[in-house]
Structure 1
Amino acid sequence: MDASSGLQPAALPGTARRMATTAVLLGLVVSAFEATVVTSAMPTLTQELGGQHLYSWVFSSYLFASTLGILLFGKLADHLGRKPVFSAGMGLFLLGSALCGFAQSVPALIAFRVVQGLGAGALQPTTMTISADLYTLRERAAVQGLFTGAWGAATVVGPLIGGWLVMHASWRWAFLVNIPVGLIALALLHASYRDPARSSSRVDVWGPALTGVSLGLLLFALERGGSSTLRLSLALAACVGIATVVRQQRSSPSPLVPLALLRDRTVLCGVLGGVLGGALLYTTTALVPLWMTGREGHTPLLAGLALVPLLGGWACGSTFGVRVFLRGGLRASAGGGFALCLGGACLLALAVSWDWGTPAAFVSLGLMGLGLGPAASTSLLGPQTRVPWQQRGMVTSAVYATRMLGGSFTLAALELVPPGFPVRFAVIASLAGAAALSLALFAPGRVITEADAAS
């Protein structure tokens, strides 16, 4: 029985729930599409605007801003309601998309990606939280294929469309195509979804603000090119900020994530799976197109095609990941998924190092996707089953935030390792190994929902 089964449904079964589900799917599609459509366009984009040295920052700024949006808007979704947060997030996302489409320099694009990322940070957890409101745990297992299919279609088609747009139109359309879809999603949700009853309480904004500033300083400390003294000063300031965050959160009446939740092994392993899953996904999707166009000399379209096995495998893996989770817990779904991802990551590192060619890279990326799909999706689903409705937005946001943080910081940290694609893909394989080992050792082996634990 799901923790929210006793609540009034957010949309009654029938036309209203189908409309709300379609709105959520479209919100999921635009955020997933944007995360991948720019990957195949980015090498050409940064070359045309003259900012190739800022390549990683176009990704990191978006991921970091998404993290800030998740931390802030995820809590607001529990206090203000899902609908206003979804609407605000979609508005920011579409504004950022329009600004990115008209950017005239890479620094301006990075700034506009921050706006876009803040909106995506509100959209991504809120869409999944709304879906959890619409369906019980058993129903979610049945409709997971629909959500992962929509996500998978968007992510798989995204790189291909991005490559096609670069070759036949302009990279600017990689951002502008989001606008009509986002507007349709807003209209559908407003016509069909109603927020369940919620308790009114004060929202803590200092926690997200302090966390954002501290993590931002740490991210800048990882940036290559500054003086050692400046980077060390930024790192020390970040450490002081993080210590302040910990102290502030202990006394906050409305913390980002209550410490009691982090004592739950399922929640803690879900957060860990989010960090490592994000690190693996975003570093791979950023580096593969750069490797394909730079070292291999392929077109942007083929560079986008190279991500299809990874993202298609993710979608396929997610469909059976929920069933594995229900039978064997997070240890089987996430630990086993990361183990499969490890095999693919090792094969990819060997393919890049020994120049085995594109077919071997495609196979290895497919294996990585088949493993990442169940690992990442159930790292979110597991914590959701452990908390009541009033904390579901909070825990969903926490897992999404750690996924974005894992991606942004790993991308920044990769700039500090010795140059060369073989070394960087070997680091990705090492991360997959750490993920597989940690989840296999510490993740619980069976599913216990919040309602089961209370009974």
Structure 2
Amino acid sequence: MGQALQKQAATKRTNRPLVLATVMLAMFMAAIEATIVATAMPAIVGELGGFSLYSWVFSAYLLMNAVTVLIYGKLSDLFGRKPILSIGIVIFLIGSLLCGIATSIEWLILARFVQGFGAGAVTPIATTIVGDIYTKEERAKIQGYLSSVWGISAIMGPALGGILVEFVSWRFVFWLNLPLGILALIGLHLFLQEEIEKRKPKIDYVGAILLTLAISSFMYILVEGGVRFEWNSLPVYILIGIAVLSMCLFVILERKVEEPMMPFELWNERSILVANLTSLTTGIILIGLSTFLPTYVQGVMEEKAIVAGLTLTTMSIGWPIASMIAGKAILTIGFRTTSIIGGVSLILGGIIFVLLSEINNPLFAASGSFLVGVGMGLTSTAFIVSIQSNVPWHKRGVATATNMFMRNVGSTIGAALLGGILNSKLAQFYQTHDPSNEMTIDSTTTLLDSEKRSQLTEDTILLIQNGLEFSLHHVFWYILCFAVLSFILIVFLPKTKKV
């Protein structure tokens, strides 16, 4: 009772509008990272080289994000949201600084590990803070605003990324985070007041290690399988064994430890189970679109970086619009119907990507991006409101983090899986269509650098373009399949559940 009164008093002293603005700024920083980096990647690999490591720039960030998000969620339940979110922002800013001064693709990948380590705290804890300071009745509308930040921030992300690449340097794509993060830290410490009964932490470090082993092993298989290692080879079998054994031990451990990283009893609620599984598949869709659409528009359609960025911007327009609508819709038609509409929109967007060709106008690609944004806005908002309405305060941090974790795992798997498909199909195409056997996966880098491209013959440009289009179309087919799977999962949401 005493702790509840303390929390109530702290909430009253908290300036809710300014806290909301602060956490939205923190989420802005994390959200803009997704699309602005994807837009800049063709220029980055054009300067640093290493196209075969393209997907690792995303996978490194997403892996650390996925592994740490549950730890941060648990720590925020123990020590409060403010100190843990602050630590995450500081680490994220250090990683951003290191990314901006990278001189090789390997350095950039290591810096992205650091950046992802901090990013694991930002979105789930920012979302949890809003769930803490607003009532159940207010939460649906406010979470709609918060979910839309991913879209609102990314409206400027692709365009800004294209402008920075075109007129300044890709390095400012990462340095842009520094002023945003500092402002978020100042606002957090000035306007959020909370009284938390601190307890001795019982962090599931073994669980974190096992989960890291499982995800990283599986990710490495997906990225390098069929490229660096044959699928039917000893290294692949060893990695599969490590991944399966680590995941089995993780599940067993989580059911026994006192403070598990992932409390599996939360999954007994059907709405939470479906929401988490669907977040896994939509995470794959999101990273696939954000990572590879700019490459298609620049490499195959021969458009500039700013145009490629604008095709992603439409997703960012659809996302906030849908999130705003979802905030009201879930109170009237329910979160299941809202989510089903979102699932249909994801499928329609996936169909458009499958139909893309070099003769299409970039607006056609932008329309598919918009539909995916609508689907993400409707589903993500409905899921968060549903989860936070079904758990008490002391589990809200880890419950929210678990949903974010599943989306992050989906993005991690997606970056690795789709990157592996791209590499393997590109290698297959060159083996079949390049009689000279001079083309490699890294040859694609020359197509994305205007200076190097000008030195290529027309036949070479056509060969690389055809290979890129061939491999990216396989990626888009997989995105469509995951959109269909997302819809099927959403259908299993309980029909009578009310917010």
Q: Which amino acid aligns with 1:22?
A: A
Matched, 1:444 2:494: yes
1:215 corresponds to: 215
2: CA distance, partners of 1:131 / 1:424: 36
2:91 corresponds to: 92
* Identical aligned residues as a percent: 31
Classify the secondary structure of the residue corresponding to 1:167.
Answer: helix
Matched, 1:166 2:170: no
1: CA distance, partners of 2:324 / 2:183: 26
Q: Return closer, same or farther for 1:372/1:146 CA change in 2, 3 Å cut-off.
A: closer
Q: Calculate the TM-score normalised by the size of structure 2.
A: 0.85
2:452 corresponds to: none
Q: Contact conserved, 1:351 with 1:357, CA < 8 A, in 2?
A: no
1:19 corresponds to: 18
Q: Contact conserved, 1:337 with 1:372, CA < 8 A, in 2?
A: yes
1:452 corresponds to: none
Q: Which amino acid aligns with 1:82?
A: R
1:326 corresponds to: 331
Deviation of 1:71 after TM superposition, in Å, equals 1.9
Q: Contact conserved, 2:158 with 2:313, CA < 8 A, in 1?
A: yes
1:38 corresponds to: 37
Classify the secondary structure of the residue corresponding to 2:356.
Answer: helix
2:279 corresponds to: 274
1: CA distance, partners of 2:289 / 2:278: 16
Q: Return closer, same or farther for 1:415/1:34 CA change in 2, 3 Å cut-off.
A: closer
2:387 corresponds to: 383
2:415 corresponds to: 411
2: CA distance, partners of 1:340 / 1:146: 20
Matched, 1:340 2:345: yes
Q: Contact conserved, 2:22 with 2:184, CA < 8 A, in 1?
A: yes
Q: Deviations over 1:391-422 (max 9, x none)?
A: 00001111111101101112211234334222
With 255-264 and 238-247 compared, the bigger mean Cα shift is at: 255-264
1:124 corresponds to: 123
Which consecutive residues of structure 2, in runs of 5 or more, have no partner in the other structure? 427-470
Q: Contact conserved, 1:214 with 1:239, CA < 8 A, in 2?
A: yes
Deviation of 1:29 after TM superposition, in Å, equals 0.8
Q: Return closer, same or farther for 1:5/1:45 CA change in 2, 3 Å cut-off.
A: farther
Q: Contact conserved, 2:89 with 2:118, CA < 8 A, in 1?
A: yes
1:107 corresponds to: 106
Q: Deviations over 1:317-354 (max 9, x none)?
A: 111123222333332122221112101211221134x8
1: CA distance, partners of 2:68 / 2:27: 15
1: CA distance, partners of 2:208 / 2:275: 20
Q: Return closer, same or farther for 1:148/1:5 CA change in 2, 3 Å cut-off.
A: farther
Deviation of 1:289 after TM superposition, in Å, equals 0.3
Q: Return closer, same or farther for 1:366/1:398 CA change in 2, 3 Å cut-off.
A: same
Q: Which of 385, 397, 400 pairs up with 1:396?
A: 400
1: CA distance, partners of 2:339 / 2:282: 10
2: CA distance, partners of 1:434 / 1:95: 38
Deviation of 1:244 after TM superposition, in Å, equals 0.9
1: CA distance, partners of 2:331 / 2:265: 24
Deviation of 1:81 after TM superposition, in Å, equals 1.1
Classify the secondary structure of the residue corresponding to 1:195.
Answer: coil
2: CA distance, partners of 1:121 / 1:308: 24
Q: Which amino acid aligns with 2:330?
A: F
2: CA distance, partners of 1:148 / 1:250: 31
With 361-370 and 85-94 compared, the bigger mean Cα shift is at: 361-370
Q: Which amino acid aligns with 1:104?
A: T
Q: Contact conserved, 1:39 with 1:289, CA < 8 A, in 2?
A: yes
Deviation of 1:82 after TM superposition, in Å, equals 0.6
2: CA distance, partners of 1:277 / 1:396: 16
2: CA distance, partners of 1:366 / 1:382: 25
Matched, 1:78 2:77: yes
2:55 corresponds to: 56
Q: Deviations over 1:77-133 (max 9, x none)?
A: 101111110110001000000000101101110000011011111111010011111
Q: Return closer, same or farther for 1:139/1:5 CA change in 2, 3 Å cut-off.
A: farther
Matched, 1:230 2:235: yes
Q: Contact conserved, 2:339 with 2:379, CA < 8 A, in 1?
A: yes
Q: Contact conserved, 1:204 with 1:254, CA < 8 A, in 2?
A: yes
Q: Calculate the TM-score normalised by the size of structure 1.
A: 0.93
Classify the secondary structure of the residue corresponding to 2:28.
Answer: helix
Q: Deviations over 1:183-236 (max 9, x none)?
A: 111111111212243462523222222211221111112222333321221111
Q: Which amino acid aligns with 1:218?
A: F
Q: Contact conserved, 1:65 with 1:117, CA < 8 A, in 2?
A: yes
Deviation of 1:10 after TM superposition, in Å, equals 4.4
Q: Contact conserved, 2:349 with 2:368, CA < 8 A, in 1?
A: yes
1:154 corresponds to: 153
2: CA distance, partners of 1:266 / 1:106: 41
1: CA distance, partners of 2:46 / 2:34: 20
Classify the secondary structure of the residue corresponding to 1:223.
Answer: helix
Q: Which amino acid aligns with 1:266?
A: S
Q: Deviations over 1:110-158 (max 9, x none)?
A: 0000110111111110100111111112212233454345432211101
Q: Over the residues paired in the alignment, what is the CA RMSD in angstroms?
A: 1.9
